[in-house]
């Protein structure tokens, strides 16, 4: 199954792909700014929850438990600082990014003491919005769930989806099991026998079962993903820096 996705010409597609399955709470009292930014967020995130002040924002936070919060500071009824304080009393994990109309260093320093993950100055450019929000989300995860296999191919371990040439691909159960097995053993070549034992346990597959799996995966995700060494087995080609770091 293939689904086309929108990338707005960005060179770093992984940021957009990572946000695609996330939800965000956006708190802003200025209707014009709120409408403009919210329309952009709706293209980036799975769910966008909008509120016009801190009081409404906290109620929405409790109801929706978003993956990230983007909030203005100067707002009526309850400002952004009070909202952040309320959230941090019960939740230190969810990333929070502040939005302000001026570069107030004192305000930003005060927000930093509340474990804020970033800030944006209005008017916000699209590239800055994507970069700041994606970096905040990445810091939330000790192990990011989006793996860069190569410049055209990404794997989301949470959703079990592959993003290849701006499209989403889903593999069969056995194909997925093989790719994840190779990723988990990226630092070495796995023999055909080791793969058979892991994927089929005590069941005996046909002689060409592993080879056929590899051929089907290559057809869907590209010929260079899985490297075969004659007489030894198979290894995955992976470009993710986190995995290269493990190999040292």
Taking domain 11-140, whether its CATH number is 3.40.50.2300 is answered by: yes
Tell me how crowded residue 164 is: count the other CB atoms within 10 A of its CB: 19
- pLDDT value of residue 176: 95
Whole-number Å distance between alpha carbons of 29 and 67: 21
- Mean pLDDT (the chain, rounded): 83
The proportion of the chain whose per-residue pLDDT surpasses 70, expressed as a percent, equals: 83
- pLDDT value of residue 190: 94
Q: What is the pLDDT of residues 136-190, one digit of tens each?
A: 887 765 445 678 788 778 888 877 888 877 677 889 999 999 999 999 998 899 9
User: Higher model confidence: residue 27 or residue 248?
Assistant: 27
- pLDDT value of residue 1: 34
**Is the Cβ–Cβ distance between 23 and 38 less than 8 Å?**
no
Least confident of 63-77, 90-104, 180-194, 204-218: 90-104
- pLDDT value of residue 225: 93
Give the architecture-level CATH label for domain 146-247.
Orthogonal Bundle (1.10)
- pLDDT value of residue 136: 87
Q: What is the pLDDT of residues 106-125, one digit of tens each?
A: 676 676 667 788 889 888 99
* Fold match, 11-140 / 146-247: no
- pLDDT value of residue 240: 64
Identify the burial level of 219 via C-beta atoms within 10 angstroms of its C-beta, where 0-12 means exposed, 13-18 middle and 19 or more buried: exposed
Model confidence band, residue 248 (pLDDT cutoffs 50, 70, 90): very low
- pLDDT value of residue 3: 35
Domain-by-domain residue ranges, the chain?
Answer: 11-140, 146-247
Residues 6+ apart with CB under 8 A from 138: 18, 144
Give how far Cα 100 sits from Cα of 77, 121, 123, 206, 211, Å.
17, 5, 9, 63, 56
Whole-number Å distance between alpha carbons of 40 and 130: 10
The most confident of the ranges 52-56, 124-128, 239-243 is 52-56
- pLDDT value of residue 198: 92
Across the range 221-246, mean pLDDT stands at 82
Q: Is the pTM of this model over 0.85?
A: no
Q: Is the pLDDT of residue 20 over 60?
A: yes
Model confidence band, residue 60 (pLDDT cutoffs 50, 70, 90): very high
């Amino acid at each position: 199954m293939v689904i086309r996705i929108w990338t707005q010409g960005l060179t770093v597609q992984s940021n957009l792909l990572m946000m695609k399955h996330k939800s965000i709470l956006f708190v802003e009292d200025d209707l014009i700014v709120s409408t403009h930014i919210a329309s952009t967020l709706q293209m980036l995130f799975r769910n966008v929850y909008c509120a016009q002040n801190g009081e409404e924002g906290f109620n929405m936070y409790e109801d929706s438990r978003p993956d990230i919060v983007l909030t203005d500071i100067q707002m009526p009824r309850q400002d952004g600082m009070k909202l952040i304080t309320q959230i941090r009393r019960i939740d230190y994990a969810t990333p929070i990014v502040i939005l302000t109309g001026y570069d107030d260093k004192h305000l930003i320093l005060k927000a930093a003491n509340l474990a804020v993950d970033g800030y944006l100055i209005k008017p916000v450019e699209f590239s800055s919005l994507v970069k700041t929000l994606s970096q905040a989300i990445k810091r939330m995860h000790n192990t990011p769930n989006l793996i860069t296999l190569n410049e055209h191919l990404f794997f989301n371990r949470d959703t079990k989806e592959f993003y290849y040439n701006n499209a989403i691909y889903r593999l069969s159960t056995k194909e997925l099991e093989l790719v994840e097995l190779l990723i988990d053993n990226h630092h070495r070549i796995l023999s055909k026998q080791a793969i058979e034992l892991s994927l089929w346990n005590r069941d005996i597959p046909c002689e060409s079962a592993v080879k056929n799996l590899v051929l089907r995966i290559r057809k869907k995700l590209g010929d260079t993903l899985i490297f075969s060494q004659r007489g030894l087995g198979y290894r995955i080609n992976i470009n993710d820096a986190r995995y290269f770091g493990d190999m040292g």
